[in-house]
Amino acid sequence: MTVPTSTHCPYCALQCGMSLAPSQEGPASVEVSGRDFPTSRGGLCRKGWTAAELLRHPERVTEPLVRDEGGTLRTASWDEALGRIAAAVRRVQAAHGPDAVGIFGGGGLTNEKAYLLGKFARVALGTSRIDYNGRFCMSSAAAAGNRAFGIDRGLPFPLTDLDDADTVLLLGSNVAETMPPFVQHLEAARAAGGLVVVDPRRSATAQLTDDGAGSHLAPAPHTDLILLLGLAHVVVNDSLLDSRYLAERTRGLEAVILSVAPWWPERVQGATGVPADLIRATARRLAESARTGSCYILTGRGVEQHADGTDTVTAAINLALLLGLPGSARGGYGTLTGQGNGQGGREHGQKADQLPGYRKITDPAARVHLAGVWGVPEASIPGPGLPAVELLRTLGTDDGVRALLVHGANVVVSAPDASMVREGLRRLDFLAVCDFFLSETAREADVVLPVLQWAEEEGTMTNLEGRVLRRRRAVEPPPGARSELWILNRLAALLDAPSSFPTDPESVFEELRAASSGGLADYSGISYPMLDAGEEAYWPYPHGSRGTPRLFREGFAHDDGRARLVAVRASAPSWTSTPEEFQLATGRLLEHYQSGAQTRRVAALTDAQPEPRLQIHPASAARLRIEDSGWVRVTRPGSDVPEVLCRAELSTGIRPDTVFLPFHFPGLSAANQVTEARTDPISGMPEFKTTRVLVRAAAGEERP
């Protein structure tokens, strides 16, 4: 009997434990079962249970594709496909310089692939133009964490620490649908009546507060920052702060006290719609729990995906610091990483301004260290590049990116102002995409390279706790598919690149260990044998240590060991809704993931959610003569971007001034056709959660 392969789910950063066993359907098929693992405890969501169906899906790309003179993608040999890419890179860089070639990576790549992709950009291509889709996910939380704590790790504690919490403040995260096994870690807080959910929608997670389990705060769109300033005001004004902790472990208190002074509860109520009494009760509950129980503050994309997302997360961190939570035994602050390797993917070189080990690319010592590991002159390593939205804005322009290599991303669906992105891709001199399906982005490519799926490869992932995990091979891949490591190795050879580009994941990891050594995200003490032996590995894990399950117990990552309270300010919202105007928030559904390129191909998931629906309040719908399941058009006022055409879903679970649309769907239903490419000036995070839109019923002749 074959022993099942222990691995992890290919989807979100919870990285639920999974076992894969040979299926009766044949040697190339596997059956999925949940296995005991601390984050999931045997549970999987619908996506995890059906993940193996994609391994032998009939739409799988299994041979390289190249675009012929007539514009059609045809099958080709690997030599022809890679030769075309290398020739295009040489041609474009000869004419326009190194930065005319760019790379767009993904938060689902293994640590090994993310590391080698960043190295390939800087060493083989000599370009600074690399970023990844994690910029759409974690960048504001990362920027806020870095400036407050000096380090960015999603959860600086094991997820199981939440099991004993009597109060959890959850801001902008619908975990009941986005990572369902997470919910079991909230049961103690619910039993104590202490689950507090902040969300303008009455989401599945907000409903967990029913029957005395907690409270739901539903602020007006884009007022989360004001709400957090109001909670901090109560903590300061009512002398609920932890004075000793603040004196011993922080800096910046005076400025923060001044910054929250204007936001007394009644004023916050006027701006957010959250009752003043509920604001006071929430602040007092948090403070009492921080003193006598176990209190946690957690943020998610709902408060981060804004043009002021870094300041909003900073306000949440300030609140946690005022209560003495980070690094204490009485609770903490954390942010919920979204993509499967969103944490590891941003640590080792995919971000425009970072080198492996979470080093700044502008740090002379970091550059010297990496130059030594790579065996190249320090001066040859490019400087910082452009964050994702800005990078995509330059596609096909005279002084921008003229050739683009895409790995693990579907920007035609996932990027803001998606029609602009598609136009940019079509202006390029050359586009190559690595994928295992012909995604909407791959359909635009000159070359498509078929790559391995999760159960066909070895490697490591880093989950939302900063825990490094082993991904293990359970089945043989299709004969024509190749690992990105192999692809980067061959391209580097064709481009006469210096240094080495190993094809074996463990060899790449060994180099990653050396590259990260001494950095904030130090993996040097982690190895495949220790992970295979079942040892827990939370970074930073310097050589000779036992890792760091709980950060900040001894101090923060600033030179003086103190956290920084950073004063942030907000202005009262000036926007008021009109009969046809709403604030559009985008988000996810239980059945689908990211751009939907995978989940839209699973019958059980598409049968449950075959199309996007615009969630709108019945009163608003009645005013606009919109019926439940009726067709609607969604547009951006004064803009020539394409409209979104979809059905309506009437729900009292959403505010009358707000509409909600999932972003997993392409074409006329793509939500990101109308989202703006406006970004946070610090993090580069796009404004996904509050786009002003017009909504109207679609006339009969306008419907599909």
Q: Please, what is the angle between helix 265-272 and helix 276-292, to 10°? A: 120
Write phi, then psi, for 148 (nearest 5 degrees): -85, -45
pLDDT at residue 701 is higher than 60:
no
pLDDT at residue 509 is higher than 90:
yes
CA 691 from chain centre, in angstroms, equals: 20
- The CA R_g of the chain, rounded to the nearest whole Å, is 24
The confidence score (pLDDT) of residue 111 equals: 97
Enclosing H/E stretch for 542? none
Decide if domain 5-54 falls under CATH 2.20.25.90: yes
Percentage of residues in the chain having pLDDT higher than 70: 98
pLDDT at residue 207 is higher than 60:
yes
Sequence ranges of the domains in the chain: 5-54, 65-137+342-503, 140-335, 581-702
Bridge partners, 616 (sequence order): 650
Average pLDDT over residues 179-187: 97
Q: Mark out the alpha helices in 323-460 (DSSP H runs).
A: 342-345, 364-374, 388-393, 411-414, 418-427
Enclosing H/E stretch for 567? none
How far is 562 from 550, CA to CA, in rounded Å?
Answer: 16
Of 577, 611, 586, the closest CA to residue 686 belongs to 586
678 φψ region: left (φ > 0), alpha (ψ -120 to 50), beta (else)? beta
Percentage of residues in the chain having pLDDT higher than 90: 91
pLDDT, one tens digit per residue, over 677-693 is 899 999 999 999 999 99
Bridge partners, 649 (sequence order): 615
- Of 23-27, 76-80, 287-291, 452-456, least confident by mean pLDDT is 23-27
How far is 497 from 488, CA to CA, in rounded Å?
Answer: 11
Cβ atoms within 10 Å of 27's Cβ, excluding its own: 9
The confidence score (pLDDT) of residue 296 equals: 98
What are 524-530's contacts with CB under 8 Å, separation 24+? Answer: 526/468, 528/470
How far CA 28 is from CA of 1, 3, 54, 405, in Å, comes to: 16, 15, 12, 30
The pLDDT-based confidence of 419 (bands split at 50, 70, 90) is very high
Residue 266 identity (one-letter amino acid): E
Decide if domain 65-137+342-503 falls under CATH 3.40.50.740: yes
Instruction: Name the DSSP class of 439.
Output: -
How far is 536 from 514, CA to CA, in rounded Å?
Answer: 20
The confidence score (pLDDT) of residue 409 equals: 95
The CA-based diameter of the chain, rounded to the nearest angstrom, is 73
> Rounded to 10 degrees, what is the CA torsion of 411, 416, 422, 427?
-100
The pLDDT-based confidence of 137 (bands split at 50, 70, 90) is confident
222 φψ region: left (φ > 0), alpha (ψ -120 to 50), beta (else)? left
Could you give the 3-state DSSP secondary structure of residue 368? helix
Mean pLDDT of the chain: 95
Peptide bond into 98 cis (omega under 30): no
pLDDT at residue 190 is higher than 60:
yes
Average pLDDT over residues 38-48: 95
Could you give the 3-state DSSP secondary structure of residue 535? coil
How far is 458 from 473, CA to CA, in rounded Å?
Answer: 5
Sign for the CA dihedral angle at 571, 575, 576, 581 comes to negative
Write phi, then psi, for 484 (nearest 5 degrees): -60, -30
pLDDT at residue 666 is higher than 90:
yes
pLDDT, one tens digit per residue, over 226-255 is 999 999 999 999 999 999 999 999 999 999
How far is 374 from 406, CA to CA, in rounded Å?
Answer: 23
The confidence score (pLDDT) of residue 1 equals: 42
Q: Please, what is the angle between helix 224-237 and helix 309-322, to 10°? A: 20
Average pLDDT over residues 126-141: 93
Same fold, 5-54 and 140-335: no
How far CA 3 is from CA of 16, 21, 474, 496, in Å, comes to: 19, 7, 10, 43
The pLDDT-based confidence of 638 (bands split at 50, 70, 90) is confident
The confidence score (pLDDT) of residue 496 equals: 97
Cβ atoms within 10 Å of 262's Cβ, excluding its own: 15
Domain spanning 140-335: which CATH class is it, in words? alpha beta
What are 21-24's contacts with CB under 8 Å, separation 24+? Answer: 23/52
The pLDDT-based confidence of 154 (bands split at 50, 70, 90) is very high
How far is 598 from 186, CA to CA, in rounded Å?
Answer: 29
Retrieve residue 504's tokens: 């074996």
How far CA 243 is from CA of 159, 260, 281, in Å, comes to: 27, 17, 21
The pLDDT-based confidence of 704 (bands split at 50, 70, 90) is low
How far is 257 from 444, CA to CA, in rounded Å?
Answer: 52
The confidence score (pLDDT) of residue 572 equals: 73
pTM: 0.96
Pick the CATH number of 581-702 from 3.40.50.2300, 2.40.40.20, 2.40.30.10, 2.30.42.10: 2.40.40.20
pLDDT at residue 4 is higher than 60:
yes
pLDDT, one tens digit per residue, over 572-601 is 776 666 777 999 999 999 999 999 999 999
